[in-house]
Chains A and B, each alone.
Chain A
Amino acid sequence: QITLKESGPMVVKSTQTLTLTCTLSGFSLSTSGVGVAWIRQPPGKALEWLALIYWNDDKRYTPSLKSRITITRDTSKNQVVLTMTNMDPVDTATYYCAQNRQVYGLDVWGQGTTVTVSS
């Protein structure tokens, strides 16, 4: 069974750096064709794709946040880490990670982790 689980701080202060971890189970990011994406959803708003890392370490970032976010992987721990610098209250959202199988979409999602940015 494939699962993903997000973890990280529930609250961060403005200007701080957020680090979120996505722990994978039932699949490996070393498997050809596989990727992991991060998506966020502000309260009452739509989904927003943030970043994507592939099995071959190819990385993609949403242009509007590219200067602030970094996605990395730790294959030994089967984890994907998202780092976002200079946090602002507008970054308050639920952050999800999901398995990316490209032509098949984001086919398994984590439960999400809620992050509140305090000013």
Chain B
Amino acid sequence: QSVLTQPPSASGTPGQRVTISCSGSNSNIGGYYVHWYQQLPGTAPKLLIQRNNQRPSGVPDRFSGSKSGTSASLAISGLRSEDEADYYCSAWDDGLSGWAFGGGTKVAVL
């Protein structure tokens, strides 16, 4: 049972916009930055969005993040086949005194 709640799957056709939600509480998302990680099949996770909505160098601007209250979301616009991956949200959690992760959302490009 993950501390943060994500839908298990999402899908879209090439070029479409896909949005992934991440729900938490005041002890995590409500009080701290949200970060998103992309995990391509068979590889290690990679930081995709930091500090709610900032893209690290090299991340395409098709990826965007937002946060409101105790929820956050990741949007992928202009969906491409190479975006097929698992996506995880994460935030610091006071109860853990450490990093909380969502259960992950598998994105399929139809």
Contacts and interface: CB of A to CB of B under 8 A. Distances in A.
A49 interface: yes
A51 B99 CA distance: 9
A62 B51 CA distance: 22
Given A60-B98, A61-B98, A103-B33, A46 B50 contact: no
A94 B102 CA distance: 17
B90 interface: yes
Interface residues of B, number: 24
Q: Is the interface of A mostly helix, strand, loop or mixed?
A: strand
Contacts of A112: 44
A96 B103 CA distance: 17
A46 B33 contact: no
A105 B2 contact: no
B56 interface: yes
Interface residues of A, number: 24
Contact of A49 (B35, B46, B98): B98
Contacts, number: 64
A11 interface: no
Given A46-B2, A63-B96, A109 B101 contact: no
A22 B99 CA distance: 19
A46 B102 contact: yes
A116 B28 CA distance: 32
**For A63, A105, A112, which residue has the most chain B Cβ atoms within 10 angstroms?**
A105
A109 B44 contact: yes
Contacts of A102: 92
Interface of A: 37, 39, 46-49, 51-52, 60-63, 96, 102-112
